Amino acid sequence: MELEIDNCVHKILTEFQNNGITLVEWETPLLRRLGYPLAPKPDLIFLVPDEQIQEACRIAEGNGLRDNNRRPSYLSEHANKGFRYVHGDEGHRLILVPLSWTGLKQDELLPLDSSALPCSLWTVPMPSLCAAYLRIITAEKRGSMARVIAVSDLTAVVVHSMFDTSYEGDYMPLPEDEDLNLSDEEKARWAEKDAMELEAAIKSINQWHFAEGTEWAKDMIIELVSGKLLL
């Protein structure tokens, strides 16, 4: 986890560790780990078990952290979930989000090498993240900013982990672009490549291990990558 934390946050994370607070990486750091090429940000966003979140907030506030009136930026902020604290001269965020909002169970989480932090850290595997985001999308109103962000993040992380999105320049050409002047043979090769990538993606998703009771998410993700599901 590529982070630079100030002394205050270092002390808070140390107290989290000493008090047995479970911290689960969420949003930008997690999406980056799963293959979505987002720019790293200095903000910290953690899922915290519901029974521990009040104690985590007490520790943060006991070290002088408070919220301010900055506009929301992250999914959890737009959904009005969790507790946001601001620290440092540049107003970096520390956001603590209840684990129950995502529907994730603690036995779905995986330990993470967090040697850059003074505390233990857990992460979310791809199948569990997909199920969590689908729950959030279903719960949020269509057209809400929270739903828009959740759909965008889920689609992007799945696409970037499953398909070849590498290209040079400011624009990724598509076979249907008129100015490409592709021959029928070139279009056929392009279509074959897309079909092979889709087949490989579906095969990979079918091999994912979904937690008990979340197998429904596999079918939805397959429909999503196949273009049959519009969230």
pLDDT tens by residue, 155-183: 989 888 776 555 444 444 444 545 556 67
DSSP reduced 3-state for 70 = coil
pTM: 0.84
- C-alpha dihedral, 180 to 181 to 183 to 188, nearest 10°: 40
Name the pLDDT band for 1 (thresholds 50, 70, 90): very low
Using alpha carbons, select from 143, 159, 144 the residue that is nearest to residue 224: 159
CA 111 to chain centre: 17
Kindly report the number of other CB atoms within 10 A of residue 18's CB atom.
11
CATH number of 7-124: 3.10.450
CB proximity list for 93: less than 8 A, separation 6 or greater: 43, 44, 45, 70, 73, 74, 84, 85, 86
Q: What does the domain layout of the chain look like in residue ranges?
A: 7-124, 130-163+174-225
| C-alpha to C-alpha distances, 10 to 61, 88, 135, 177, nearest whole angstrom | 14, 12, 33, 51
Segment 57-89, tens digit of pLDDT: 999 999 999 988 789 999 999 999 999 999 887
Segment 173-211, tens digit of pLDDT: 444 545 556 677 766 776 677 677 788 878 889 999 999
